[in-house]
Amino acid sequence: MKMLTQNFGKLLLAGGVIFMASCSKDDDNDTTTKPTQKDATVKEVMEEEEQYSMMNEAIEESDQSSFFSNSSANITVFAANNDAFNDLFVEMNVSSMTELKGKLGDEAFAELIMYHAINGKFDIDAIQDGYIETYADNDNNGKLSVFIENDNNTRLIFNGGDDNGASTASSTTISATNGSVIEINAVLSAQTNYENLEDAEEAEDNGETSLFLTLIADADVDIKNRLESETSMSTVIVADENELQSMLSINLAAILDVDDLNNLLDASAQTSLFTQFGVSTVAELLLELNISDLLSISGMTMANIYAEMEADDKAELMSTFIFNGYLNLKDEATNNGTISSDAGADFDVSTSTSGQIVLTDDDGNKIFLEENSAHSVNGSIYTIAKVEEM
């Protein structure tokens, strides 16, 4: 897969999770295009439909024909049309599928094709916004995820529609005997953790950059560079503003220093807090405080606190959300494993009674994660559902 990422430049949070469901609608109210029925496998559809002739050639060149022709398969294929492959040829400066395969390498070429297939047979209007796993693997054998937005149940946008993305070329789904075929206007390629975070957060915030990404951008440049690097594997747990606040509260003494607190508190606030906690210096006070204590001070806001934090403080905060390497937290939970964040915090990994993955630190604070995750070419992303502070 490294060859794939190197040759395509930018590739594949929080994250969000994709949910797929069959839509049963009243015929009188159904305004979507009905699927075109074909008594053929998805591979045979590629062979029969002229606009997919290059996709069919790519499938055969990648030695994946048996996967797409398997009568027992249950897959949806996002089939790049001929125009899409011709554009890719120009971008890659090649003139044939064989030459493209040679430039990428056998493994990367095969993963490129498998990135266009997902498990399950779906029509366009049954696909909801979020991440879904494809049949392509990253370097650690995690299934790469594609980010999909559904525009009014008639148009799908993949990976933000940017350099690594595409959109559907029509609202028609071809229903094959072993799956579905949906035409797209570009060849998809996988994304990095940072690109996945951008797509998920922009979709969630209607185009506005989230606080999480803002703090990464304001942190030490190494944080962003690591999440963007195609060769630096990491696992990220992404949080919204409330969970960010909780994580900062848990790690306040490790992130803010005495000067930060002096700048945040005037003499009156310091005196009040000294009395409240029975301390006499700001250094002692810092060990007792949490975010709720600071926010109880008149006029104090989270914006004040974030504004006071310097780049290294924000890098320290972000490092509590980042773990080295590609981690399968479901496996870690099953084995009651322990993981360490880049900030040096250790977490026991377990599963709650409701099936959520739970990270528990040395002080008993618990971080509950969403069940599913997104897998990128350089790691994976999990989304925090809630934080329980001790």
- pLDDT for res 19: 32
Instruction: Give the CA count within 13 Å in the CB-facing half-sphere of 371.
Output: 7
Give the tens place of pLDDT for each residue, 308-343. 999 999 999 999 999 999 888 988 998 889 999 999
DSSP 313-329: HHHHHHHTSEEES---H
Percentages (nearest 5) of helix, strand, coil residues in the chain: 40, 25, 35
Query: How far is 161 from 188, CA to CA, in rounded Å?
Result: 9
Cβ contact 321:328 at 8 Å: no
2-191: what CATH class? mainly beta
Q: Minimum mean pLDDT among 64-73, 180-189, 321-330: which range?
A: 321-330
Sheet holding 366-376, edge to edge: 322-324, 234-238, 379-388, 366-376, 357-361, 346-351, 338-340
On the question of pLDDT at 204 being above 80, the answer is no
- pLDDT for res 11: 34
- pLDDT for res 4: 40
Q: Is 336 left (phi over 0), alpha (psi -120 to 50) or beta?
A: left
Q: Which pair of structure tokens corresponds to residue 32? A: 């979507």
For residue 240, what pLDDT band results from cuts at 50, 70 and 90?
confident
Whole-angstrom CA distances from 94 to 52, 89, 102, 105, 113 are 19, 5, 10, 14, 17
Residue 357 sits at φ, ψ, to 5 deg, of -75, 135
Give the tens place of pLDDT for each residue, 262-310. 999 999 999 999 999 999 999 999 999 989 999 999 889 999 999 999 9
Give the tens place of pLDDT for each residue, 338-372. 999 999 999 999 999 998 999 999 999 999 998 77
Q: Where are the domains of the chain?
A: 2-191
